C-alpha cells in the first residue's frame, strides 16, 4: 500500500531531490512535503468523485435569500471539498451553484438553489489518519 511518505518520495525523486523517511525529518525536503501534502491530496480529491471520500449530508439553510436567481442558500459542511449532487426529498435534481453570499456583512460560501431542502453528496477533505472508507473499499489512502 502507498503511504503518505512514499507518495512524497515519488515527487521528490521526480524532482531529482533526496528522499525522506518521515515528515518529521529535520530536512528542507521533509518540511516542504509536510507543509504541502494535504493541500496537494485535496486538490487531487477535488478532481474526481472518489468513492472512498464521498459523504452525504442534509444541509441547514442560511437565514437569507440569495440576491437573485435562486430562492435558498445552504450552509456547506466544513469538510466539503466539492459538491457532487443535490437531491430534494423526492429525489428530483435541482439546478444549484456554489457561490459567496453575504451573511450579516460576512462573505460565506453557500450552495444556492430553488430546492426547499438540500441533501447532497460531496467529496470530503483529506485530513490524514483514516477519514476514508478503508474497510469497504479495500484500499488504503496514504496511511
Mean pLDDT for each consecutive 10-residue tract of the chain (143 residues)? Answer: 84 94 94 91 89 93 91 96 85 85 92 93 81 46 49
pLDDT of residue 67: 87
pLDDT of residue 38: 87
φ, ψ dihedrals at 61, nearest 5°: -80, 145
Nearest to 132 by CA among 97, 81, 59: 81
pLDDT of residue 138: 46
87-96 CB contacts, 8 Å cutoff, 24+ apart: 87/119, 87/120, 88/115, 88/116, 88/117, 88/118, 88/119, 89/117, 89/119, 96/70
pLDDT of residue 3: 84
Q: Which three cell numbers stand for residue 16?
A: 531529482
pLDDT of residue 133: 47
pLDDT of residue 129: 58
pLDDT of residue 91: 64
- Interatomic CA distance for residues 11 and 121, integer angstroms: 31
- Interatomic CA distance for residues 98 and 22, integer angstroms: 37
Amino acid at each position: 500500500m502507498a503511504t503518505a511518505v512514499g507518495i512524497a518520495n515519488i515527487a521528490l525523486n521526480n524532482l531529482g531531490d533526496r528522499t525522506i523517511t518521515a515528515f518529521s525529518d529535520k530536512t528542507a525536503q521533509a518540511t516542504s512535503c509536510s507543509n504541502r501534502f494535504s493541500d496537494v491530496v485535496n486538490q487531487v480529491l477535488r478532481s474526481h468523485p472518489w468513492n472512498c471520500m464521498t459523504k452525504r449530508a442534509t444541509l441547514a439553510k442560511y437565514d437569507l435569500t440569495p440576491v437573485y436567481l435562486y430562492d435558498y442558500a445552504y450552509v456547506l459542511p466544513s469538510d466539503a471539498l466539492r459538491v457532487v449532487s443535490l437531491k430534494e426529498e423526492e429525489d428530483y435534481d435541482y439546478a444549484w451553484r456554489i457561490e459567496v453570499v453575504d451573511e450579516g456583512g460576512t462573505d460565506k460560501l453557500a450552495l444556492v438553489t430553488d430546492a426547499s431542502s438540500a441533501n447532497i453528496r460531496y467529496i470530503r477533505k483529506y485530513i490524514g489518519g483514516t477519514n476514508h472508507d478503508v474497510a469497504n473499499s479495500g484500499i488504503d489512502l496514504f496511511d
